[in-house]
Structure formats: C-alpha cells, structure tokens
Structure 1
Amino acid sequence: MTRCAPATRLLTVLALLAALLAGAAPWAGAADTPAVTLSASQAGTGGSVTVKGTGWGARALLMMLVCGRSSPARGVIGGTNSCANADGRAVTTDARGAFSRKLPVAEPPVPCPCVVHVATVTGGAKAQADAVLKVAGHPVAALPAASGTGQLAMVADTRLDGSSGVLTWFGAPPARTFTFTVGNVGQSPVKDPVFQVGTAHGVFAPVYEEQQWRGTIAPGRKARIELPVELDAGAHGSYLVSLKYGGKVLAEQPWGVGRPWGVTLFWLLLCVVVPAAVFRIGMAVVDRLRPRERYGQGRHRGAQHLAELTVRLPKVRLPRRAPAAPARGPADTAAPAQDTLPWFAPDTGPGGPAAGQLSAPPDTSRTTKGNT
C-alpha cells in the first residue's frame, strides 16, 4: 500500500492537469442546476430585493419578474399574465453563469402566493427558476387544484399548420394551428387539460394564454391536440411559439411571419393618389372661381385704347363724288358711256386749254431742234 501511494498521487495529478487543459473544473461534477436566491423573503411595494443566481449559462440574458399565483413546485400559473411585467428587469450572467441584481417589488395583477420568476431569454438552453417572495399588503388566495398536472409528456414533434391569406398581406392578424401529440405517463387519467400557449417576439419574454382542450387522456394513452395561435394585426418578423403545461415548457416552435406588403403598397398609393386628387380638385376650384370679368375688362380696355388711337389719328377727307348723270332718253343711247372719276380729268378743268388747242409739252419731254 505504501509503494502504491506515490503512483496513485501521480495519476491524480495527471487527471487534474488533463481536466484543466480540457477547460472543465474537476470539482464541478455534473452540470449545475439554475438556482435563485433572494436577499429578503418579504418586502413591500416600492421596495427592492437583491436577486442572485447560479448555475445559468455563460453570458445568458435573463428576465426577472414578480409573479403571483405561483409556487416553485408548480411554476407560474397563467404565465406572464400573472406577473408585473412593467417592473421586470433584464440581467446578463457572467462567464460562470452567475448574476446579482436588484429587482423592484411590485404587486402582480393576481393574488399571491408570489415568487420571483427568472427565465432564460437568449443564450444557452431554456431554463427557469423561482424563489418565494411575500409581498406585504398584497392579497393571498389558494392555488387552483391541480388535476393531472405533470402527467402529460410530449410524444411527437410539434408543427404549425395553416397559411396566410390575402387579408394577412393587408395587415390582418396572422393565425396558425399549433398541432402536437402528448401522452399520459401517469397513473390517473387527465381530463380537460389546460395548456398555456405563448408567443415571443425577439428578445421579449413569451406572453402566455390559457387554452383548454376538451377530452380525457387515459393512462398510457396519447392524444393529438390542436390549439389555435393568433398574433396581433400587422405583426411581422421572427416569433417563437411555446407550449407549457403544469409550469413546464413542453415544446417550442419558431414562426417566421412575413411583412404585410399590402399595407405598404396602400400607403404608397395613398401618398401618390391623394396629392394628385387634391391638385385636380384645387385646379377645378380655381378654374371655377376665376373671375371671368377680368378677361372682359381686358378686352374693354383694349377697345378703349384702340378708340383713343382712332381719335388721335388725323381725319382724312375723302373727295366728293360727282353727282349722278341724269337719265338719258332714247336719243342719247347712242352716245358712248364714259366713266368719269370723281375729280377732273387733265385739260378739262376750268382754266384749261380749249378744245383743239395743243398743250405745251411736259417738262420731262425731250425738245427737238430744228434745222438752223
């Protein structure tokens, strides 16, 4: 035994070195279970408690809430609808999976028993833990009777059935059917089980709604269950649908919801059509209300201006026309008709040369010289 002791110690040291090189703590043993502790077990509204946690995933984002109608054994009955969501706090664990942060105490929307509920939002595997907290001055009511709680287990994979229609493309609430198969692993039948279906968007915690399935599942039997799931109007993006029963999450199913492009197209058309319609209506109103007298006044002014110009122009006196010749008799029909101008013809006016006399040649005529 004495000779074997050094060899045993050497093997132990080598095992420790191998564990350290592998990056695991040799004294940690199995994986740690998430746990939560409070600095005080009772606090009043407006106060705060320090929440400490260990055994969580490294660099994991957690959500802390004060929830009513809850117990560490049964979890939060009613989901986050039983919690003071407005006063919740988010916290990120360190590299060892531990955290410590103050949480304001607020009254949940349902009576106590109350707990501080801590659940994983992102990072690592999904986990949750509860710590009992007495909220001073908040009413307390007994928990509902548990009938078959914890007797159902998931048997087959879950899926979301259904598709989006034309109305969803224009902003109608997306809807699906959450289909899954569970089996009764207990010793007593489960009648009309109540499931909690929650939807989470992004990093927010799921919002659960209770839905009751009508039917009885005998021990050792399984049943196919379909529950409706509906989002808000205009919802789009990545969602996560969770199924919880008896305070335990049985299944999760991702759901990618497309953007309602019909709403975007509607607003684009509205931004184009409405200004065009307003412009057309405005032009019609302007054309209707435009004073037509303006054009009349313009024409009147122009007419006045032309009249002034006409008045200012010198007056032109037209020559008087000769009196009409008297009617001739039959004897005068042989005389040729002569058209006379309103003025006198050359050499016929008063003071002109007599008939038969030659008139002097004009100044412009060329003079002829006789023989000298």
Structure 2
Amino acid sequence: MKYTAAAAVLAALAFLLLPAPLAQAKATAADKPTVTLSKAQAGKGGDITVTGKGWRSNALLMMLICGQSTPARGVPGGTNSCANAEGLAVTTDGKGTFTKKLPVAEPPKPCPCVVHVATVTGDKAQADAPFEVAGHPVEPLPKQQGGGRLSVLTDTSLEGSSGLLAWFGAPPSRKFVFTVGNVGSAPVKNPVFEVGTSHGVFAPQWEEQQWRGTIAPGKKAQIKLPVELSAGAHGNYLVSLKFGGKVLAEQPWGVGRPWGVTVFWILLCVVVPAAVFRIGMAVVDKLRPNRRRGGRGSRPAGRHRTGRIAELADRLPKLRLPQGAVAADEAARTPRTKPPRGPGKGSDAATNTTTLPWFTPDTDPGAGTAPAGQLSAPSENSPTTKGNT
C-alpha cells in the first residue's frame, strides 16, 4: 500500500511537471523571427510584400535579395552576394511585426535566392525566405565542407597602429587576432573567413579573407587577419568575424579623428589669403602713378611735397625789382675774399676801399665834389701816362 501510494504521487507530479518543458519549447519556437512573402517568384522591376513576425519590438531591420543562398544554409557569401543597392530598411512595431513592399532586383550571384532579413542594431537575429527571380541564372550551390567546424576559443583583439600618416587622413589599419579551435570530426583546410566593418547603424561591409593552413580535429590555431578602413575614417567602428554564414566574434574599434587634416585646412585658409593680399599689394604698388621712373619704391611724402611747392613757386609771376636793388642782391650773394695782408698800412687802406657795384668811378655822383688833388680813375679808352722818372 505504501509503495502504491508513493507511485501514485510520483505519477501525479510527473503529469503536472511534464507539460512545462513542452510548453517552453513551443514558446521558444514561436519567438523565433520568421519571414513570409506574398509571391514565391517575380521578375526584375516588380515588387513583393514581405511580412515578418516574432522580431524584437521597435527593431531596425534590413531586407535584401541574395543569391547562392538557401534558408537552411543562410547566406554563405555574406552581403557581397546580395543586391545591396535595392535593399530597404524597415522598423518593427511594438509587437515585433512589420509589412513592407520590396522591389525585385537581380543579385550579383546566381540563384537559388532568398529574401534575407537581419537586424542592424542590437541583438543579432536573421531570417530567410526562399524566392526565385524570374529570368535570373540558376547554378548549383558549392559543396560545403563537412565534418569540420570552427569556434572562437579566446577573446579577440586588434593589434598594431596606423602610424603618423593616419593622423593626416591615411586609411587606419589593424590586425584582427583570434584563436579558433576545430570542434568537428574532420580537418579544416585553408578556411575562408569574412571580416566586416560597420559604423553606427549601418550594416557591415564584408570582405573575404583566406587563411593558409590546416586545423586538425581537436586542435586550435591563432589567426591574424588584416583590417583596413577607408581614408579619413574616424569614430566608433565594429569589426565582425564570420565563418560558414555564422558570426563568430565581434570587436569594437575606436578610431581617432585625423587632426592633421584639420590643421592643414586651417593653415591653407590663412596662407592663401595672405598670399593673395601680398600679390594684390605688389600689383597696386607697381601701378601707382607717382612712382619714380627707374626706382624701386614710391616717392617719399616729404620730398613729394617739396617738389610740389617748388613747381608752384616757379609758376608764380616774378616781381621786377629796381636796378639798384637787383645789383645789391647780386653783390650780397657774391662771396667776399680777403686780400693778403701787406707790410704797410697804406696797402690795407687801399685794399679795404670798395666800390659800390652799381656805380662806376666816372658816374659817381660825388666825383664833382672830390678834392682838387684827387683824380678820377682813368677810363678804358684814355691813354696811360707815365710818371716822372
């Protein structure tokens, strides 16, 4: 009786507890994002209606048509195999649903094709729906490596520095370092990784890079892949690593502003106006009208005024002075020379006697009143007389 009662109690508990995991699994499957299409086939230039459910509320999504992809394998070639130019962004509502028309475009890779929807920000989530582009070529999918699976074992890092040239706008570059291990049952030879860089809310730009080597099952290897941004890039970037259509790791990267470019433009804005000003001043100085001929600089202000005054003085009418005043003015301007001193006083008296310039001995008004013994100076035409011998 005791064992029967205990068994009955255990059966009741199992009946009550067993539906809980099943309900949990159903809820998990229902929360997985899904995508449905209004048409399974359409040609280029048309459009289809894409409906999504189970997404995060108010999430920003990107819708693309990708080639060489299936819902089971995802998008092995990354966004490089998608029609990125014709992609559209959509935001989910509060319930995590959306409905939007998507124009049909031919992807760069042949079909089989899918409509790929993935989150742009926040937690990674994606969903694919099979789609056929009418008139687009169809090729079989490439063989997938079976048995080998890679997993990132340690934290990733970015090594190296961009150098001084990045300060002047050169492309920043680093090495994405990570360690992977082969958790599969077959070796992985020359794996091809996809390295993507994204800035802000934009989707990553993926680039395929192949690592040369073989990773045996249960072994690990350190891999370094180069990462380079565009010229003049600055701000917060996110470097992502993908293998086999699955994102393995992400690493943030803060890139400083290229201040050398800013300094260059500031100097350019100062030097160019200064050079234009100097050239303009040189042209004005060369075309100035009062510039001396043959001279290099302009005429000084003081000398220019003096020349103007002299010109005005020459243009004024000259005053006519009496003949006597003119002669006196000329005598005053003529320098006087002292005769050599003689031994006698008579000679000094004779030399000190001067004649006014405007009178001659013959026309001297005081000649008639001279003493009887004084003779006037001989004229030029009178003969010379000899004295007593």
TM bucket, shorter chain: 0.7 to 0.9
Q: State the match for 2:318 in structure 1.
A: 313
Q: State the match for 1:42 in structure 2.
A: 41
Map Cα deviations across residues 91-116 of structure 1 (whole Å, 9 max, x no partner): 11122222111111111122121111
**8 Å contact from structure 1 (residues 41, 134) kept in 2:** yes
Aligned counterparts of 1:351 and 1:161: Cα–Cα separation in 2: 126
What is the CA-CA distance between 1:281 and the residue it aligns to? Answer: 2.7
Q: Tell me, what secondary structure is at the counterpart of 1:64?
A: strand
Aligned counterparts of 1:81 and 1:166: Cα–Cα separation in 2: 32
Q: Which residue type is aligned with residue 179 of structure 2?
A: T
Aligned counterparts of 1:148 and 1:317: Cα–Cα separation in 2: 135
Map Cα deviations across residues 340-365 of structure 1 (whole Å, 9 max, x no partner): 56379xxx96599999xxxxxxxxxx
More displaced, 209-218 or 277-286? 277-286
What is the CA-CA distance between 1:289 and the residue it aligns to? Answer: 4.7
Aligned counterparts of 1:38 and 1:287: Cα–Cα separation in 2: 78
Q: Tell me, what secondary structure is at the counterpart of 2:154?
A: strand
**Cα distance 1:230–1:354, how it changes in 2: closer, same or farther (>3 A)?**
closer
Map Cα deviations across residues 129-151 of structure 1 (whole Å, 9 max, x no partner): 11111001111122222124871
What is the CA-CA distance between 1:78 and the residue it aligns to? Answer: 2.2
Q: State the match for 1:238 in structure 2.
A: 236
TM norm structure 1: 0.77
Q: Which residue type is aligned with residue 51 of structure 2?
A: K
**8 Å contact from structure 2 (residues 57, 95) kept in 1:** yes
- Matches of residues 113-192 of structure 1 in structure 2 within 5 Å? 113-123=112-122, 125-148=123-146, 151-192=149-190
Q: State the match for 1:276 in structure 2.
A: 274
Q: Tell me, what secondary structure is at the counterpart of 1:30?
A: helix
Q: Which residue type is aligned with residue 167 of structure 1?
A: L
- Matches of residues 1-372 of structure 1 in structure 2 within 5 Å? 29-30=27-28, 32-123=31-122, 125-148=123-146, 151-290=149-288, 292=291, 304-309=311-316, 312-319=317-324, 320=327, 333=346, 336-337=349-350, 339-340=353-354, 342=356
User: Which runs of structure 1 show a deviation greater than 6 angstroms over 4 or more consecutive aligned residues?
Assistant: 25-28, 298-302, 351-355
Aligned counterparts of 1:300 and 1:149: Cα–Cα separation in 2: 106
**Cα distance 1:263–1:331, how it changes in 2: closer, same or farther (>3 A)?**
closer
**8 Å contact from structure 1 (residues 78, 209) kept in 2:** no
Q: State the match for 1:366 in structure 2.
A: none
Aligned counterparts of 2:25 and 2:139: Cα–Cα separation in 1: 44
What is the CA-CA distance between 1:77 and the residue it aligns to? Answer: 2.6
Aligned counterparts of 2:148 and 2:186: Cα–Cα separation in 1: 11
TM norm structure 2: 0.73
Aligned counterparts of 1:221 and 1:335: Cα–Cα separation in 2: 137
Aligned counterparts of 1:119 and 1:53: Cα–Cα separation in 2: 11
Name the structure, 1 or 2, with higher relative contact order (CA <8 Å, separation 6+).
1
**Cα distance 1:272–1:353, how it changes in 2: closer, same or farther (>3 A)?**
same
**Cα distance 1:49–1:332, how it changes in 2: closer, same or farther (>3 A)?**
closer
Show structure 2 runs of 5+ residues with no match. Answer: 1-11, 17-22, 332-342, 372-389
What is the CA-CA distance between 1:165 and the residue it aligns to? Answer: 1.2
Show structure 1 runs of 5+ residues with no match. Answer: 1-7, 13-24, 323-329, 356-372
Aligned counterparts of 2:157 and 2:163: Cα–Cα separation in 1: 19
What is the aligned length?
319
**8 Å contact from structure 1 (residues 35, 54) kept in 2:** yes
